[in-house]
Structures are given as C-alpha cells and as structure tokens.
Amino acid sequence: MSSHEGIHFVEMREEEFVNECVDLVSKAQEKGIILRILGAMAVYLHTKDNPRMREIHKVRFGAEGAPMFTDLDLMAYSKQSKQVKKFFEEMRFLPDKMINALFSNKRLIYYHPEGKYHIDVFFDRLEFSHDIPFGKKPGEGRLELSFPAISPTDVVLEKLQIHDINRKDLVDLVVLFLSHEFLDKEGKGLINVKYIAKLLADDWGFWYDAKNNLEKVKATADILKEEGVLNEEEVALTRRKVDELLKALDEEPKTKKWQKRAKKGTKSKWYREVEEVVR
C-alpha cells in the first residue's frame, strides 16, 4: 500500500477502486449477503451523477496528488457473520486472524490478495465517538434502505458523531447538504431530518457533538469560499441546510435519558475515545 504523510492509501485509481468495491457488494447481494459501503466512498457514490459535487468533494484531502480513499469500510448484520466470513474467503481475501478472533462479533478485517487495500467490516452499529445503529438482521434494519452504500441519512450521522472532526469529514457534509433534499423520509437524494433528530434526542453526548460539528460545517463553507471552491449561493444553501437541521435537533422532544445526561453536561466525558486498530 502506498502512503502519503504516514497514511496508507489504496493502490488503484479512484474510479477503478470504486467499481471494484461496488462489484464486491453486488456479488455479496447475489448470495443474499447484505454489505453496504460507509464513509467517503458512500458520499462519492451518493453524488456520482453530479459533476459539481464531485469537483467540490475532491478538495476533501487538501494534499495535492493524495488519493481519495484509504480503504473500504463496510456495514453488515451480525446475523450474517458466518456468510460474510465465507464470502471473503471465497473471494480470496486474507483475514486478519488476530483482529477477527478478538472482535469477530463486532468487526472483521480482510486484506486484498495482492495487498492493494484492506477492508473493515462492522456489524450492526458503528461504535466510535458515539453509536449509530443499523439493526441486527436482514429485513429489520437500515441497510436495505440504500444500495450499494448506506443511506445519505446514515452517512450524515456517521460524520456528525465524530468528536474530533476534521476537514475531510466536514467537506463530506458540505457535499451531502448541497446535493440532498431534507425531508422526513428516506430515499435517493434525501436526508431524513426527523430520524436524525429522534436518534439524537435520546443521546445528549451525540446531540452535543453533532451541534458543534454543524457549526463547523458553516465555518468550513466560508473557508471553501475563500479558497475559491464554493460560490456565494452554495455557501448560503449550506448555511440554510445546517440551520434547518439545528432547528430540528432543538425542537425534537428529548427523552428522560437525554434530560438526565444533559444535567451533567460536559463535566463528565460525553464521548468515547477512538483508538485506531493497529494494523
């Protein structure tokens, strides 16, 4: 794997890598195994028909010549973990034996047979700074809402849960907000604001970090305008979308659990430290 300033990258052209990943998810689907793409590639796939968004998305790295993707992150259901393992073995991917033995019910890691990239498979929920649930089995979870990536709504949550959010993730959010409609339902080109507000109304820590991150999205839009990446209309639209989501987060009735945790505020830690698994 190539690296750029200590980060590992995929040894393939962007388009080629994306096509290979979509092909992998499609082959799993043919066998009845549900895998969905997470992260930056999900943003890429949700905006693939929009050349302007692709143009903006390219600046997420900042570093000239750095590839866009570092690996492939997938979400699956734990009820299908045996089928997932069998599938990657059949596709000749090499398991990370230690990680897969230690965390098999939550996470699996596989390496491309020629070492071109690695794959992280997560089960049922993302557990980083905050939790994002996807459900435990086919037909009862959120993974079927979208193909080949998780839904735009879940990508927004994936980005908003990051306690130490960086430029790349903020650019991802700008791109998603500019290219998707805010409605209280799921669908192609839609972000379900009601679902986001409801989930966060039960988790004060996530709600608090999400609100801070949304303010940072506005600041990022301003920076991107200074850099000549966004025009005035795009900045105004980003700000309007952020304000709409902030309003929804404020207005959603909070649960007793949220209210109880809100009393402690930031006096006690409200997020989980995320340590990258050593590979």
Tell me the mean pLDDT in the region 119-142: 96
Cβ–Cβ under 8 Å, residues 251 and 197: yes
pLDDT at 13: 82
Distance separating alpha carbons of residues 14 and 72, to the nearest angstrom: 12
* CA separation, residue 94 to residues 1, 67, 76, 112, 118 (Å): 15, 23, 18, 7, 9
Confidence class for position 6, pLDDT limits 50, 70, 90 = very low
Residues 174-222 have pLDDT tens digits of 999 999 999 999 999 999 999 999 999 999 999 999 999 999 999 999 9
As a whole number of angstroms, the distance between CA 156 and CA 128 comes to 14
Q: Does the pLDDT value for residue 1 go beyond 70?
A: no
Burial class (CB in 10 A: 0-12, 13-18, 19+), 194: middle
Average pLDDT value for residue range 98-116: 91
Region 80-98 average pLDDT = 95
> In this model, does residue 2 exceed pLDDT 70?
no
Q: State the DSSP code for 265.
A: G
Predicted structure pTM score: 0.93
What is the per-residue pLDDT for 276?
A: 56
